[in-house]
A and B are shown apart, each in its own frame.
Chain A
Amino acid sequence: MFKSLNMVSINQIQDEIIEDFAQFDDWMDKYALLIDLGNSLEPIDDQYKVPQNIIEGCQSRVWLAAELNGDGRIVYKAESDAILVKGIVALLLRLFSGRTPDEILNADLYFVEKIGLREHLSPTRSNGLLAMIKQIKLYALAYKSKMG
């Protein structure tokens, strides 16, 4: 089994994210941070922006692709056409991209609740956060079984 060396754990990053958001009381400031994160997200190549990479969400489009690199880690590529969703995508990539399938599959995501993005998990919002996390884990499962 792969073990992440020289890398902070997913939980450490979750704690950092929680801390980043905790410095703001006002909702608009929290969202301003999310917008900044969205703006800093590297755009993905057009080759990834294909229908089969779209995660069906009601309001905005999210593309998510994954590749396995040489040392058994998954690199995720993702983007959205809505900036707030892009901010969430940036957080998810920071947590998961470059991790082993086991790390991803075993991750318990508590940061969403803690930073007040809980409403994003509501199925009626359908902006795809739940679907994104599910798809991220599905990729991890697929690569794990491929690796044997």
Chain B
Amino acid sequence: MKLNSQIIQNIRTDFPILEEKIYGKPLIYFDNAATTQKPFCVLQKIEYAYKHLNANIHRGVHYLSQKATEAHEEARSAIAGFMGAAKREEIVFTRGTTEAINLIAFSFGEAFCQEGDEIIISVMEHHSNIVPWQMLCERKKLKLRVIPMNEKGELQIDIFRKLLNEKTKLVSVTHVSNVLGTVNPVGEIIRISHEMNVPVLIDGAQSVPHIPVNVQKLDADFYVFSGHKVYGPTGIGVLYGKEKWLNELPPYQGGGEMIEKVSFEKTTYNVLPFKFEAGTPDYIGSTALAEALHYISEIGLENVAAYEQELTAYAKEQLSTIEGIRFFGTAAEKSAVISFLVGSIHPYDIGMLLDKLGIAVRTGHHCAQPLMDSLHIPGTVRASFSFYNTKEEIDVFVAALKRVVGMLS
């Protein structure tokens, strides 16, 4: 099903927030890489869950607890199916991408890393895929190696091959750059790493909302994403890990739910995936996330990807008519993100004025300061699209940008 403008208009009615007026103007929401808006079905699921299946899960013998447990575990199965995982036990719920990466950085580091070992990341990582590894490096005296990129914003795979060595313990890279939109060749990175028996973590925060992902086809060892960036609620995220790895890793946090037996002398841990889920799980979040994934699966991620590509190409073409505009990230494989600057205008000024015209874009370093440093810029203006955005919105945005640039020049 190709997403035409009639279908998009129908889809837009699924998202109540798109009706909002900002300073009296219709909201144009182009900050989808930061978080996405929520369709009615997700909002209704949250309300339904609190109204009809709210009870603490797994331990209760009563009816509601059973129902809530079933909903939570069904969500896990649905997410396993969505990601193409081999087993539902390979899906661990976290608070988001950041917590998932911290979990692996801690537990993998405890189990497998020793002084002198190396971890490889890339220059285009979000702070969430930098800082946990730096903390591990500090704790265990490891070395962090960084894959550079070319001027188009593509990772330099030939250099990556040279960085890999017998000291490399893990490679952690983003599938899609949140600033440049580059879709990295993660399949190739995984294949190359596996030749050296090095496991790979893929940060899927920016890919899962936009392109179909199958963790088994990719052969990823770990794959993580956030619920709120894929039309689900905040505070829930997913860590996929191959069973053999998850079994070998020690728990990250201790508490309820993750234990098998507790005494003051010794505690034994629960089986997968509960070993990594200390405390009362976000069973409302998990069920609502499963609903969100069901919603986009119904539309079809191939259709989403095709429409967003069309939208992004149109935006790029229209923006190119602005004198002095510079784009950052011109990779051959790109997602629905456009980062730019105009002349010497500070991105903050553009963002503030666009806001007053009802247009939400992101300005600044986008939590990727090392990337900004490598580009020798303080930040960019970033417009990031979703399938509920339209070409008409892009026309309004480009006209507004021209007006704003006129005021600031």
Contacts and interface: CB of A to CB of B under 8 A. Distances in A.
A84 B349 contact: yes
Interface stretch (B134-142, B255-263, B352-360, B386-394): B352-360
A107 to B, nearest CB: 26
Interface string B332-354: 00000000000001111101110
Contacts of B16: none
Nearest to A35: B407
A82 B407 contact: no
Contacts of B363: 59
Contacts of A27: 23, 356
B174 to A, nearest CB: 22
B348 A127 contact: yes
A82 B348 CA distance: 7
Given A27-B356, A28-B356, A58 B23 contact: no
Contacts of A59: 347-348, 351, 363-364, 379
Contacts of A60: 346, 348, 378
A81 B347 CA distance: 10
Interface in A36-75: 58-61
Nearest to B357: A28
A89 interface: no
Nearest to A39: B408
A104 interface: no
A42 B353 CA distance: 23
A90 to B, nearest CB: 14
Contacts of A83: 345-346, 349, 408
Contact of A31 (B346, B353, B378, B379): B353
Contact count band on B: 10 to 19
B366 to A, nearest CB: 11
Contacts of A31: 352-353, 356, 407
A127 B349 CA distance: 11
A32 B357 CA distance: 13
A78 interface: no
A84 B352 contact: yes
Contacts of A61: 378
Contacts of A127: 348
A82 B350 CA distance: 10
Contacts of A81: 346, 378
B86 to A, nearest CB: 42
A85 interface: yes
B349 A82 contact: yes
B364 A58 contact: yes
A35 B408 contact: yes
Contacts of B348: 59-60, 82, 84-85, 127
B304 to A, nearest CB: 30
A64 to B, nearest CB: 17
A6 B149 CA distance: 61
Interface centre among A58, A60, A61 (most CB of B within 10 A): A60
Interface in B365-389: 378-379
Contacts of A28: 353, 356-357, 407
Which residue, B348, B356, B364, B378, has most C-beta atoms of chain A within 10 A? B348
Interface string B252-271: 00000000000000000000
A60 B364 CA distance: 8
B343 to A, nearest CB: 12
Contact of A32 (B23, B352, B378, B407): B407
A58 B379 CA distance: 10
A83 B408 CA distance: 8
Contacts of B345: 83
Interface string B393-408: 0000000000000011
Nearest to A59: B348
Contacts of B356: 27-28, 31
Contacts of B23: 27
Nearest to A58: B364
Contacts of A35: 407-408
Nearest to B363: A59
B344 to A, nearest CB: 9
Among B345, B349, B363, the one with the most A-chain Cβ atoms within 10 Å of its Cβ is B349
Interface string A8-30: 00000000000000000001100
* Nearest 3 pairs of A and B residues by beta carbon: A82-B346, A27-B356, A59-B348
Interface of A: 27-28, 31-32, 35, 58-61, 81-85, 127
Given A28-B357, A83-B346, A84-B353, 11 more contacts: A27-B23, A31-B352, A31-B353, A59-B351, A59-B379, A81-B378, A82-B349, A83-B345, A83-B349, A84-B349, A85-B348
